[in-house]
Each structure stands twice: as structure tokens, then as C-alpha cells.
Amino acid sequence: MKNLHSLTFYALVTPVIALGAGSVLAESSSDKKMDREQQSSQSYQDNKQDQSQMQSQGYLSSAPANGRHASNLIGAEVKTTNNEEVGSVSDLIIDQKGQVVGIVVGVGGFLGMGEKDVAIGWDNVSHSGSSDQDELQIKSTREDLMSAPEFKTQD
């Protein structure tokens, strides 16, 4: 009889313990979910703050809307307004403020022989085309460029 009372007692107590533990686990799970959501929100805000700090420190995440990449300018073909090919850009001239003030173009010569470098002011260059494929035009003629002084780099 004593065993029967023990068995009945355990049969009644076990579901109570199981249900109680289930509600405790469920409550713990929802607390963890809330913590994760708060951490995610905090992480997003921290990331946004980091990006604004990066921009204030002089870092960029992408090029400006009307900006150009030097790698797209160097090697770009330069033509006259008469659509006559002059040569390709071999270098950029940049001032102390970091602004492009001119391009260096190899003109004249044949197969690289007798070619001379001529610097053309950036204000005298008109640009068109996509940001990946720059098309550069100048108002000078080939003859003007051939008679222009040779550009010498500073060492």
C-alpha cells in the first residue's frame, strides 16, 4: 500500500514539475529572443555610428556620384573635336589639394619611337562616356600638340 501511495504521489507531482519547467524554459527562451533583438538593434546603431565616424575620418565607402577613377582615365584615348585620335593618357597631374589639374598624353612618333609627352590642362579636356569607359576630347589639333613643349616629370 505504501508503494501505491508513492506511485500515486509521483504520478501527480511529475506533470506539475514538467509543466512548471516548460513555462520556465519558455520564459527563458523569450528573454533570450528579446536580448538578441536588442543586441541586433544596438549592433545596427553602432554600425551606423561607425560609418558616420569613418566618413568624418576621411574614409569613403564608394566614389562620389560624378567622380572618376584614375584607373579609368589612365589609358583612355584622347581625341580632337574632329574625332582624330591623339594618343592615350599615360599619367595624371595632381595638385597639392589632390585635384586633377592635367593629363599627360604621348603624341607623335610611330610604334612608340619619337613620341613625346605633352601635358594638357584638365580644363581643356571634355569628358563623356560612362564611368567605366571615359571618352576624352580636346579642342587642340594634332599639329598644336606636336608644337607644344614636351612635358618633363619632376624627380
Asked whether residue 125 carries a pLDDT value surpassing 80, the answer given is yes
Q: Could you give the number of structural domains in the chain? A: 2
What whole-number distance in Å separates Cα of residue 79 and Cα of residue 133?
Answer: 14
**Domain enclosing residue 33, as ranges:** 1-61
Please check whether residues 79 and 112 belong to one and the same domain: yes
Q: What is the pLDDT of residue 68?
A: 75
Among 104, 79, 102, 99, smallest CA distance to 89 is for 104
Q: What is the pLDDT of residue 102?
A: 92
SS (H, E, C) 77-129: EEEECCCCEEEEEEEEEECCCCCEEEEEEEECCECCECCEEEEEEHHHEEEEE
Q: What is the residue type of 74? A: I
Tell whether the torsion through CA atoms of 22, 23, 28 and 33 is positive or negative.
Answer: positive
pLDDT band at 121 (very low <50, low <70, confident <90, very high): very high
Question: Is 154 inside any structural domain?
Answer: no
Helices and strands, number each (H, E), in the chain: 3, 6
Q: pLDDT tens digits, residue range 94-109?
A: 999 988 899 999 888 7
Please check whether residues 74 and 143 belong to one and the same domain: yes
| More confident position, 81 or 49 | 81
